[in-house]
Amino acid sequence: MSKKLSEVFLLKQLVMLVLSFLLLVGCQTNETLSDENNLTNDRKELVGDSKKIEGDETEESELEVQEEIELDNEVEATIEDEVFVERYEIDPVSWRIKSLDDSDDQVILLTIDDAPDQYSVVIAEKLKELGAGAIFFVNGHFLKSEEEQNKLKVIHELGFEIGNHTMNHPNMSDLSEENQKREIIELNDLIEEIIGERPKFYRAPFGVNTDESRAIVGQEGMIFMNWTYGYDWEQEYQDAEALAKIMVESPLLSNGANLLMHDRKWTAEAIENIVIGLRERGYEPIDPREIKIN
């Protein structure tokens, strides 16, 4: 009997050990599951926070883009609404620049004919860098292709006035009244189609004005003009150095002079030295947008 009791006692002890082991394993499993659940919840919270941050960043980014767009619109509106005070007028007899307020400033007007052939954009870019205004007088036969029309747009967008120099550069005295009208009006229409505004200035090829052309220019509300002096079509001045020298040292240079130049290689090469030389002598190129229009 004693032996059997011992065996029973040992069996009970074994059972108790097994149950204790199973209970311990169960507790650890529950703790692990609880930890995993907590970790999962933490991850969900992190993902939620991350999405919130991304959402905030997206909203901030969209706000910044909107602010940039509004700023660009304000700048564009400022450019479009830029107003130029009328400070000068063109003398209808001498074609010189006259101050409206009796200013003592020494000024000149730069003009470029036969645009926008080959070198007008280069000339415009150099003048822009120098802060010097000018009128670019345009011929219609240089506006036939999209490339040529884009050149005109560039010159205009750089801030230069675009003038009418007729469609085909004829001597107007050789044309009928109807053809003279066509030479001027068709070009005005074409220029307006390209840059969105009609020319304010007219210059006749060879400086030949007729009664009919004067009347048409008046009807169009433009100012017609010739010039004070120019040299770049003469053989001896078809060189940048020689041209710059004569344009600055000409005996015809004086306050209000209307300077004529053309779309030429040597003119493009000389234009910087011309402007610098004129300024060194005390003459400042005016902005043609400050000229009073009739």
Rounded to an integer, the average pLDDT of 74-96 is 75
Q: Is the pLDDT of residue 243 over 60?
A: yes
pLDDT reported for residue 21: 52
Determine the CATH number of domain 88-290.
3.20.20.370
Rounded to an integer, the average pLDDT of 244-267 is 98
The span from the CA of 148 to the CA of 150, in Å, is: 5
Sign of CA dihedral 157, 232, 207, 106: positive
Rounded to an integer, the average pLDDT of 33-39 is 47
Which residues have a Cβ under 8 Å from the Cβ of 160 and sit 6 or more positions away? 124, 127, 133, 134, 135, 136, 288
Sign of CA dihedral 80, 86, 91, 96: negative
Query: pLDDT: is 196 or 101 the higher one?
Result: 196
The strand pair at 223-224 and 201-202 is best described as parallel
Each residue's pLDDT tens digit, 98-138: 999 878 899 999 999 999 999 999 999 999 999 999 999 99
The span from the CA of 287 to the CA of 84, in Å, is: 9
The strand pair at 284-285 and 107-115 is best described as parallel
Whether residue 139 contacts residue 169, with contact meaning beta carbons closer than 8 Å, is answered with yes
Q: Average pLDDT over the chain, rounded to whole?
A: 84
The strand pair at 88-90 and 97-99 is best described as antiparallel
The span from the CA of 131 to the CA of 113, in Å, is: 19
Among the listed residues 95, 121, 120, 93, the one whose alpha carbon sits nearest the alpha carbon of residue 203? 95
Rounded to an integer, the average pLDDT of 36-50 is 48
Classify residue 59 as left (phi > 0), alpha (psi -120 to 50) or beta: alpha
The span from the CA of 247 to the CA of 232, in Å, is: 9
Percentage above 90 pLDDT, the chain: 69
The beta strands (E) that lie in the chain are given as 88-90, 97-99, 107-115, 135-138, 161-164, 201-202, 223-224, 229-230, 258-262, 284-285
Each residue's pLDDT tens digit, 142-152: 999 999 999 99
The span from the CA of 86 to the CA of 232, in Å, is: 30
Percentage above 70 pLDDT, the chain: 72
Whether residue 119 contacts residue 158, with contact meaning beta carbons closer than 8 Å, is answered with no
Sign of CA dihedral 99, 101, 103, 105: negative
Rounded to an integer, the average pLDDT of 67-83 is 51
Which residues have a Cβ under 8 Å from the Cβ of 289 and sit 6 or more positions away? 84, 133, 159, 161
Which residues have a Cβ under 8 Å from the Cβ of 238 and sit 6 or more positions away? 232, 264, 266
